[in-house]
Amino acid sequence: MVNVCTINEETVEGSIMFLCVIDECTRYKRAFLLKEKSEATFHIKVLLNRLRTRFRKLKVQLLLSDQGGEFLTKPLEAYCEWD
């Protein structure tokens, strides 16, 4: 499950939200600070690449989201189809 959440206070680096990623099976959690929602695609792709490298025999089969616009981008869709 992936979701973008807002932060009450801006961080020193200027981030005002974070991307939360939770593996539904293992409950593994990862968060990425974001300045803009558009950064979500980059961080999802980086995480998927790390997982693919670390767990070569396993594959991410499903990416669940709240259907927010930051997850319905052509670059992310193309990346998921390629993967």
Domain ranges of the chain: 2-82
The alpha carbon of 7 is separated from its chain's Cα centroid by a whole number of angstroms, namely 17
pLDDT in tens, 54-77: 988 888 889 999 999 999 999 999
Provide the β-strand partners of residue 30.
21
Share of the chain above pLDDT 90, in %: 81
CA distance 14 to 10: 6
Share of the chain above pLDDT 70, in %: 99
The CATH fold of domain 2-82 = Nucleotidyltransferase; domain 5 (3.30.420)
Hey, how many other C-beta atoms are within 10 angstroms of the C-beta on 66?
10
Range with lowest mean pLDDT among 8-12, 34-38, 65-69, 78-82: 78-82
